[in-house]
Homo-oligomer: A and B are copies of this chain.
């Protein structure tokens, strides 16, 4: 994809997404995470300035502020992902006629692949932070919006797991074994932690919905 997603209409975005053009997966992941962050913000906005939730107001304001920052990071990640992807493609197109050209091409490609790997990993970390922000909302947020907390948690976890597939794919092409092992360990730990965090949030929401 050529342009920044934010100014595309939803309809144009979906049309481009479904086409055979090799779009980096970053757009879908970032948008899912950004929707999750927006839902956190919505719950905060439905809570702030209401007398009966005054006790948690300061904490809610801090959550709102952080969710806005995280959403910004997720939307920026779309362009970072495109740049990193284009850099990898650029390396594949470098000349490989001489032995020197070939070895330099390989070297540049490995650097570009590592960079392309770190963008989705950081996105996954941002999504986990969005998940974490949801933990407190069923306790201090407007209870009328408690199901939106669960929706946010589902989406944030889906975005996180989606980002981590890009780590898997990039690691398949990276030759530095120490680096790959390090990222595979971190990736698996974050994936497992996200399932636990999402289940915790959902459980709290279910209890709140039934009470």
Which A residues are within 8 Å of any B CB, using their own CB?
A: 5-11, 13-14, 17-20, 22-23, 25, 28-29, 31-32, 34-35, 37-39, 41-42, 45-46, 48, 67-68, 71, 75, 147-148, 150-151, 154-155, 157-158, 161-162, 165-166, 168-169, 172, 205, 209
Assess the A9–B11 pair: CB atoms within 8 A: no
Q: Supply 16 A–B pairs (Cβ within 8 Å), ascending by A.
A: A6-B9, A10-B10, A14-B34, A14-B75, A17-B35, A18-B39, A20-B46, A20-B48, A23-B42, A25-B151, A28-B39, A28-B151, A31-B35, A147-B165, A147-B169, A155-B162
Assess the A7–B9 pair: CB atoms within 8 A: yes
Assess the A18–B32 pair: CB atoms within 8 A: no
Interface of A is mostly: helix
Assess the B28–A41 pair: CB atoms within 8 A: no
Query: How many copies of this protein are present in the complex?
Result: 2
Q: Closest residue of chain B to A17, judged by CB?
A: B38
Q: Closest residue of chain B to A68, judged by CB?
A: B18
Q: Closest residue of chain B to A67, judged by CB?
A: B18
Assess the A166–B147 pair: CB atoms within 8 A: yes
Q: Closest residue of chain B to A46, judged by CB?
A: B20
Q: Closest residue of chain B to A16, judged by CB?
A: B38
Assess the B19–A10 pair: CB atoms within 8 A: no
